[in-house]
């Protein structure tokens, strides 16, 4: 953020002539206007009033711009699946996600209000000509930064788990099952680690059914997950699809109706 860069000058001011001992709203405004007048920076065409472009630096694609402006967001769901090469589908919108805002983090000082609180950033409908679909979720998700860019993307293990959490955002459960069937064996350890980390019994049951019963893979973790299945019925594999008692079958080992 521009405010942070200017504030850093005041904190590391050796050799610089700066008014006042520390950053103030007046100093920030003065610096910003001077940079705009000198055509060193310009208001970002998509995030007007929220972000600035350094005119000497080449522009970047939508995913990188979103991650630069909003340090809490990352590429997710079908967009992440595409970046990982798990699907040949290209979503109509760039899908990005971030944790739900925590009211306890609200900023109060006048200077702090100059920096938009990251989780309150309003993304425009389009960025660099690409439609944006923003989702918020509870908790945290592990991410990585793509090499040579500022683009953050959900980790590969969480990418697979997100397919089970929100299949409708990942091409539908039929597509999810196809992707798991083709690629999940290669990332089995990452998937198991993420499923364990998430700690949701329903996801353990679904992942266990797909990896063990459907794909024939083996792991000690599946034994622990299967014990959860034996305690109760876990509904259907695709919670968004109807259950037809005449066509849908049931995995008695995993206590789940297979409706996809």
Q: What is the pLDDT of residues 211-253, one digit of tens each?
A: 999 999 999 999 999 999 888 888 899 988 887 776 668 899 9
Residue recorded with tokens 């293990």: 157
Largest CA distance in the chain: 80
Amino acid 197: pLDDT: 95
Among the ranges given (19-28, 95-104, 171-180, 249-258), the one the predictor scored with the smallest mean pLDDT:
19-28
* pLDDT at residue 68 is higher than 70: yes
Structure tokens at 123: 């993304």
Could you tell me the residue ranges of all domains in the chain?
2-57, 58-154, 156-260
The SS3 call for residue 60 is: coil
Structure confidence at residue 23 as a pLDDT band (50, 70, 90): low
Separation CA 29–CA 25 (nearest Å): 6
Among the ranges given (13-17, 76-80, 146-150), the one the predictor scored with the smallest mean pLDDT:
13-17
Structure confidence at residue 112 as a pLDDT band (50, 70, 90): very low
Separation CA 8–CA 27 (nearest Å): 13
Separation CA 99–CA 181 (nearest Å): 29
Amino acid 232: pLDDT: 85
Rg (C-alpha) for the chain, rounded Å, is 23
Structure tokens at 124: 């425009």
Contact 161, 191 (CB under 8 A): yes
Q: Which tens digit of pLDDT belongs to each residue from 24-50?
A: 787 778 878 989 999 999 999 999 878
Partners of residue 74 on adjacent β-strands? 97
Upper half-sphere CA count for residue 13 (Cβ side, 13 Å): 11
- List CB contacts of 14: < 8 A, sequence separation 6 or more: none
* pLDDT at residue 120 is higher than 80: no
What's the distance, Cα to Cα, between the start and end of the chain in Å?
A: 46
């Amino acid at each position: 953020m521009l405010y942070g860069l200017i504030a850093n000058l005041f904190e590391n001011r050796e050799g610089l002539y700066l008014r006042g001992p520390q950053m103030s709203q007046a100093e920030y405004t003065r610096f910003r206007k001077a940079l705009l007048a000198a055509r060193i920076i310009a208001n970002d065409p998509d995030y007007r009033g929220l972000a600035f472009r350094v005119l000497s630096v080449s522009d970047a694609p939508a995913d990188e711009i979103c991650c630069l402006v909003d340090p809490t967001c990352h590429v997710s769901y079908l967009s992440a699946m595409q970046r990982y090469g798990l699907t040949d589908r290209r979503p109509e919108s760039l899908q990005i996600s971030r944790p739900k805002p925590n009211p306890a983090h609200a900023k109060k000082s006048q200077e702090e209000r100059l920096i938009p609180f990251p989780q309150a950033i309003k993304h425009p409908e389009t960025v660099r000509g690409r439609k944006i679909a923003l989702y918020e979720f509870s908790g945290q998700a592990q991410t990585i930064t793509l090499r040579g860019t500022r683009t953050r993307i959900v980790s590969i293990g969480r990418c697979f788990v997100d397919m089970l959490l929100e299949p409708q955002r990942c091409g539908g459960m039929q597509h999810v099952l196809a992707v798991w069937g083709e690629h999940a064996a290669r990332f089995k350890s990452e998937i198991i680690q993420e499923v364990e980390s998430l700690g949701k019994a329903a996801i353990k049951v679904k992942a266990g059914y797909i990896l063990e019963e459907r794909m024939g893979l083996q792991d000690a973790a599946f034994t622990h997950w299967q014990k959860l299945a034996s305690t109760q019925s876990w509904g259907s594999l695709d919670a968004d699809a109807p259950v037809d008692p005449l066509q849908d079958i049931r995995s008695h080992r995993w206590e789940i109706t297979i409706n996809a």
